[in-house]
Structure 1
Amino acid sequence: MDRRLRRNQWKSTESCGWLSVPAMGSNSASGRVVLLVLANGHSVHVPGVGETRAEALMTWREGHIQAAIRQANMPTALPAPQYKAIEGQFAAEERTLKDKRAQVEQSRQNSRIDLVRRQTEAERQLNDRHSAAVQAGEKALQRANQRLAALRAEHRTAVQEGQRLAREPIAYRKISCGRFLRTVLIGR
């Protein structure tokens, strides 16, 4: 199709259009054929393009033409006052964001200081409890050692008494029944 269009001196998209004419053959369902009309006035039949497709192509073409016109009318540079206004807006936004960041940093620093203070207090309390537990353990150990020393002294005395009694022959001792009971029951 491109070759056929170039051969017929079709140069710009503005110079074309579609024309619906009665069909000569029996291939068309509606009895009509759509022709592409070129700038030089020649008509070209494009196989596979009917009225619906021609309408869609023209809508597509018009959309692209309008987009090109809009783009051509867009400014490529801003006037100085507008440029300064936009720069001012960005500078204000940057200051706002820097202030927010400083607030967040300050809040984070305050939180960190508070956490360190609470951790230090907790460590001090743990150290105090540990010291109290160590002192209580030392006192309990000292009492247990004193009790052990007393029991050892009592044991030593009992052993010595037992050895002394073992050295005295029982047969030579004159013991009455009352003295025996007193010795057994009271220990004298």
Structure 2
Amino acid sequence: MPKSTITGKSQLIQRISKKTKFPQTQITQIIDELLLETKKALVKGEEVRLQGYFSLKTAITKPRMAMNLQTKKKMKVPAKRVPKCKFSISLKEEINKESLELKSKKTPKTTNIMATRTIKLKQLNLNPLSVAKYFYEKLGARGIEQPFIHPVLYLAYREILKKENISLFKEEFEA
């Protein structure tokens, strides 16, 4: 299935009109009415279910304490109603199945070990100290503004340099 996006209501209306041969004005009225009735039901606190697709409802959050990140002052956040959407199991399974099929078509059969970011250095059979020394020799006293190496190796490099009390930044090398 080719990947295409519906960025808004007008694209959805055009697509439905093209498939059903109904005029766009009728489809617009139907969709507007559907959205209006859904909105009214949610405002009343009712649940809207489209079986096999999703259900929409509102829930009440508890009042809580929060902190303003700019002023660092604590403030009370009052209880409020928030919209909730729960997708059906069948829709989730279908989405997951299609995404796995697309993923298997895109990725080659052989996977590159370095491609996954969660790999530990031990799984790569690399000595962390030798990795740190290698990159330290490559980079010298320049420091690293933007890592151009694999993220796992870069993080290991930083951790090892911290343990060895070696600085990563130019200013600290010159001091």
Fold in common (TM above 0.5)? no
Identify the structure with the greater helix proportion. 1
TM-score (norm: length of structure 2): 0.19
Structure of higher CA gyration radius? 1
Identify the structure with the greater strand proportion. 2
TM-score (norm: length of structure 1): 0.18
